[in-house]
């Protein structure tokens, strides 16, 4: 599973705000904020965030990093 820092870095790389990610993932913006602040979220919400970011061109790296797919 992805980490909160990976979500923040992904949003920065894409130029997305919290609301942008929430819209693309089909979840509430408060869920994104809560996760990025270290709070718990349902695994289904985390999967939706990961799927939305991957679809937008983010690649998650094993060292807790991210990059835009070439």
Domain boundaries, the chain: 4-64
- Residue pair 14/56 in contact (Cβ under 8 Å)? The answer is yes
Q: What is the pLDDT of residue 1?
A: 86
* Residues 4/36, Cβ–Cβ less than 8 Å: yes
pLDDT score, position 38: 94
Class level of CATH domain 4-64: mainly alpha
Q: Does residue 29 register a pLDDT over 90? A: yes
Q: Both tokens of residue 70? A: 């070439």
- Above 90 in pLDDT, residue 10? yes
Closest CA to 50 of 60, 40, 63: 60
Two tokens at 36?
């990025």
pTM value? 0.94
């Amino acid at each position: 599973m992805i980490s909160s820092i990976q979500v923040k870095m992904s949003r920065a790389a894409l130029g997305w705000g919290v609301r942008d990610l929430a819209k693309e993932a089909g979840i509430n913006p408060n869920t994104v904020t809560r996760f990025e602040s270290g709070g718990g979220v349902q695994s289904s919400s985390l999967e939706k965030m990961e799927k939305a970011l991957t679809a937008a061109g983010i690649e998650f790296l094993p060292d807790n990093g991210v990059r835009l797919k070439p």
